Structure 1
Amino acid sequence: MSPFYLLSLLFGLAFGQTASLCAPSEYIIHVEKRECTYCLAINTTICAGFCMTRDSNGKKLLLKSALSQNVCTYKEILYQTALIPGCPLHTIPYYSYPVAVSCKCGKCNTDYSDCVHEKVRTNYCTKPQKLCNM
């Protein structure tokens, strides 16, 4: 193995995470309640992007910690609250949602992230839509 190739490999392993393209991205959440007249479209930010992962084909040769598959996840979150218009008095018209301030590559935490690989189209409105700009 040439010294240049070995040095390139070591550099890539050491600084691979810095090349990750994981950052807050604009996203629209659609929120509606059965009792309310309108669907609310909320502009927010989520964590999205590419994170370096390791090939697990050599799992017998590597430490267990080297086999983790990183995802783009939240580093810092703020929560904001929006008012859903057209709700009757007996209904709580507020909806709290996360806003990604910063992101990181790490293990997916199911306490605050959806770690499912399959994409299901559920982010849409069935009622007239109102836009919420925070």
Structure 2
Amino acid sequence: MALLRSGAQGLCCVTLAVLLCCGAYTEASVLNLRRFIGCAVREFTFLARKPGCGGLHITTDACWGRCETWQKPVLEPPFIESHQRVCTYNETRQETVLLPNCTAGVDPSYSFPVALRCDCGLCLTSTTECITSV
């Protein structure tokens, strides 16, 4: 029975990975993603722009997810113990595209990271937008 249960969990994880990687959008996958805790590579589209050039829609892989976070009160300052992890890039590669309609003298090159592997980890301001205090 344990082997059967383990196989079912593995199939569920494979199914979720396929949905995340392929960007499948169905009502069922939206419900699963709302409950998903973890970090995964997922397809993402954004508009690349820079002064002097036209914009270009780029589809790439980026990190996406929610990681376990908790806080508890303690008796010593700062009176709270935090465990805050974020979905962050573990491995990337750089890609470069040429933006259209650049004015003379403007380099049309636009570089961006492509996520190869993502994990829950500490927030590093070198790769991730982190809120450190309010």
TM (norm. structure 2) is: 0.61
Residue 43 (structure 1) aligned to one of 59, 63, 70: 59
Contact 1:68 1:107 survives alignment (8 Å): no
The total of aligned residue pairs comes to 94
CA contact (8 A) 2:40 2:63 kept: yes
Distance 1:116 1:82 in 2: 30
Find out whether 1:67 has 2:82 as its counterpart.
yes
Q: Runs ≥4 in structure 1, deviation > 2 angstroms? A: 57-61
Larger Rg: 1 or 2?
Answer: 1
Alignment of 1:1-134 (within 5 A): 20-36=37-53, 38-54=54-70, 56-60=71-75, 67-116=82-131
Contact 1:20 1:50 (C-alpha < 8 Å) held by counterparts: yes
Q: Alignment RMSD, CA only?
A: 2.4
Q: CA deviation at 1:71?
A: 0.6
Higher RCO (C-alpha 8 Å, min separation 6): 1
1:69 and 1:115 map into 2 onto residues whose CA distance is: 11
Q: TM-score normalized by structure 1?
A: 0.61
State the distance in 2 between where 1:52 and 1:99 align: 24
Percent identity over the alignment is 37
> 2-side partners of 1:44 and 1:60: how far apart?
46
Q: Which protein is richer in helix relative to its size?
A: 2
The CA distance in 1 between the partners of 2:58 and 2:75, in whole Å, is 46
